[in-house]
């Protein structure tokens, strides 16, 4: 089979992309002279101020290295803020913390994840309400924190109202709410693309703490845990160190965020990735043999393909399987995906699917 030149960038993951140039420039600017280690530096103070500004509140900001670290720090601190050590974490069975973190939550938190079925990776308040039968019974882990993912692992979105309803239900039952925002920029871009949109589904909705992703959105590697509810943040700095996420040269985590929080670059990058996914959908959903449910909400599409086409296509331009039972794969765009990448990719898909098997 004759295939066109492969796209310059793959559709494997937004983790496959590098860093935005502004991020490297910011690192270079921060790399000047001696500063006190572990966060008592100007870049870190600037970063904290930027996050306070973004959320319009005196939030507690803890910069960390990666998404698993962010989730663990958030959850450990939240669990610690609840009276008693007997609480577990409620999540969707699709949750990254449940599926893709090698049991880091169970290892470091030493508690149970209570995973609930969710076909679209979204929990609903009724599922929380049903957990009431566990409450007060000494034989069961007590639900303590609910962890939602926004955008979800399946590329779906909660509306602000849906998150608010989940927070209401959780709080009525004495639980706290965590938001895993590894792709919070993509979610914000999709839900309005403004700081107000961000606030609508986080602080205004009642979320107590969140993991604010940066790595998948153009950083080299940095995430932030934002504690919106100060009562859920007790000891966060100590816990960050305990879970191995305290950086000595903190200025270099801060500088990365300072670059993309400046003038809304974080939203521009995520909007672009989302737009490229829509473009990818438009260019490929019309190809015979590509089965796609509808346009993507954020920056991933999950097509089913004729099985014999998958390997040749992957060999040509790498991507990951999603659900092998349905011959479903995942194509993901990033902050640096170009229309040219998509055109070439669509051309390749067309070529492989048209080939006689």
In the complex, the smallest distance separating the C-beta of residue 320 from its own copies, rounded to whole angstroms, is 10
Q: By CB under 8 A, tell whether 242 contacts its own copies.
A: yes
C-alpha to C-alpha distance for 98 and 100, rounded to whole angstroms? 6
**Region of 8-16, 159-167, 194-202, 349-357 interacting with its own copies (CB under 8 A):** 8-16
Q: By CB under 8 A, tell whether 258 contacts its own copies.
A: no
Q: Angle of helix 339-354 relative to helix 307-316, nearest 10 degrees? A: 140
Instruction: Return the bridge partners of 323, or none.
Output: 328
**Which of 247, 258, 274, 300 is the binder for its own copies (CB under 8 A)?**
247
In the complex, the smallest distance separating the C-beta of residue 355 from its own copies, rounded to whole angstroms, is 25
Q: By CB under 8 A, tell whether 33 contacts its own copies.
A: yes
**Which of 2, 83, 126, 357 is the binder for its own copies (CB under 8 A)?**
83
Query: Which residues in 293-352 contact its own copies (CB under 8 A)?
Result: 318, 334
C-alpha to C-alpha distance for 250 and 65, rounded to whole angstroms? 10
Closest CA to 249 of 209, 225, 221, 218: 221
In the complex, the smallest distance separating the C-beta of residue 300 from its own copies, rounded to whole angstroms, is 14
The residue written with tokens 């007590």 in the block is 142
**Region of 96-104, 268-276, 289-297, 308-316 interacting with its own copies (CB under 8 A):** 96-104
In the complex, the smallest distance separating the C-beta of residue 120 from its own copies, rounded to whole angstroms, is 20
C-alpha to C-alpha distance for 27 and 52, rounded to whole angstroms? 21
**Which of 2, 58, 126, 138 is the binder for its own copies (CB under 8 A)?**
138
**Which of 3, 22, 57, 66 is the binder for its own copies (CB under 8 A)?**
66
CA distances to 119, 269, 310, 325 from 322, rounded to whole Å, are 14, 25, 12, 9
**Region of 62-70, 192-200, 264-272, 307-315 interacting with its own copies (CB under 8 A):** 62-70
**Which of 239, 259, 287, 292 is the binder for its own copies (CB under 8 A)?**
239
Q: By CB under 8 A, tell whether 100 contacts its own copies.
A: yes
Interface pattern 185-214 for its own copies (x via CB under 8 A): ------------------------------
Ramachandran category for residue 56: left, alpha or beta (phi over 0 → left; psi -120 to 50 → alpha) = left
Query: Which residues in 210-229 contact its own copies (CB under 8 A)?
Result: 215-216, 220-221
Judged on CB neighbours under 10 Å (0-12, 13-18, 19+), 324 is exposed
**Region of 100-108, 148-156, 171-179, 300-308 interacting with its own copies (CB under 8 A):** 100-108
**Region of 28-36, 287-295, 296-304, 346-354 interacting with its own copies (CB under 8 A):** 28-36
Cβ 182 vs Cβ 125: under 8 Å: no
For 309, residues 6+ apart whose C-beta sits below 8 A from its C-beta are 289, 352, 353, 355, 357
**Which of 76, 148, 175, 224 is the binder for its own copies (CB under 8 A)?**
76
- Which residue lies nearer to its own copies by CB, 102 or 357? 102
The residue written with tokens 């690192």 in the block is 27
- Which residue lies nearer to its own copies by CB, 116 or 163? 116
Q: By CB under 8 A, tell whether 245 contacts its own copies.
A: yes
Cβ 226 vs Cβ 60: under 8 Å: yes
Q: Tell me, what DSSP letter sits at residue 91?
A: E
Q: By CB under 8 A, tell whether 181 contacts its own copies.
A: no
Cβ 228 vs Cβ 203: under 8 Å: yes
Q: Tell me, what DSSP letter sits at residue 291?
A: B
- Which residue lies nearer to its own copies by CB, 54 or 121? 121
Q: By CB under 8 A, tell whether 162 contacts its own copies.
A: no
Q: By CB under 8 A, tell whether 153 contacts its own copies.
A: no
Segments in the chain forming alpha helices (H): 21-30, 42-55, 67-81, 96-99, 104, 125-130, 160-172, 184-190, 195-200, 236-242, 251-261, 265-284, 307-316, 339-354
């Amino acid at each position: 089979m004759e295939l066109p030149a492969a796209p310059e960038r793959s559709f494997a993951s937004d983790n496959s992309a590098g860093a935005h140039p502004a991020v490297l420039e910011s690192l270079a600017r921060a790399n000047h002279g001696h500063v006190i280690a572990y966060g008592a530096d100007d870049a870190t103070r600037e970063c904290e101020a930027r996050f306070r500004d973004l959320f319009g509140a005196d939030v507690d900001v803890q910069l960390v290295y990666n998404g698993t670290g962010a989730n663990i720090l958030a959850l450990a601190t939240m669990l610690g803020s609840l009276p008693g050590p007997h609480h577990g974490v409620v999540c969707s069975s699709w949750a990254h913390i449940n599926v893709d973190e090698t049991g880091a939550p169970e290892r470091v938190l030493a508690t149970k994840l209570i995973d609930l079925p969710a076909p679209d990776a979204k929990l609903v308040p009724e599922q929380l309400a049903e957990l009431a039968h566990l409450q007060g019974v000494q034989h069961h882990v007590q639900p303590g924190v609910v962890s939602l993912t926004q955008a979800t692992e399946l590329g779906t979105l909660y509306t602000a109202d849906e998150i608010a309803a989940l927070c209401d239900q959780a709080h009525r039952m004495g639980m706290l709410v965590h938001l895993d925002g590894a792709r919070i920029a993509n979610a914000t871009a999709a839900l309005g693309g403004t700081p107000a949109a961000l606030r609508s589904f986080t602080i205004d909705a009642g979320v107590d703490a969140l993991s604010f992703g940066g790595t998948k959105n153009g950083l080299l590697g940095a995430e932030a845990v934002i504690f919106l509810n100060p009562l859920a943040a007790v000891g966060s700095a100590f816990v960050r160190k305990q879970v191995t996420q305290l950086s000595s040269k903190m200025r270099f985590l801060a500088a990365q965020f300072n670059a993309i929080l400046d003038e809304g670059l974080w939203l521009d990058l995520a909007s672009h990735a989302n737009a490229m996914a829509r473009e990818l959908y438009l260019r490929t959903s019309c190809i015979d043999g590509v089965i796609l449910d509808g346009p993507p909400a954020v920056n991933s599409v999950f097509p089913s393909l004729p099985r014999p086409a998958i390997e040749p296509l992957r060999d040509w331009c790498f991507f990951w399987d999603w659900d092998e039972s349905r011959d479903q794969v995942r194509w993901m765009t990033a902050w640096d995906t170009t229309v040219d990448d998509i055109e070439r990719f669509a051309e390749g898909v067309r070529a492989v699917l048209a080939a006689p098997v």
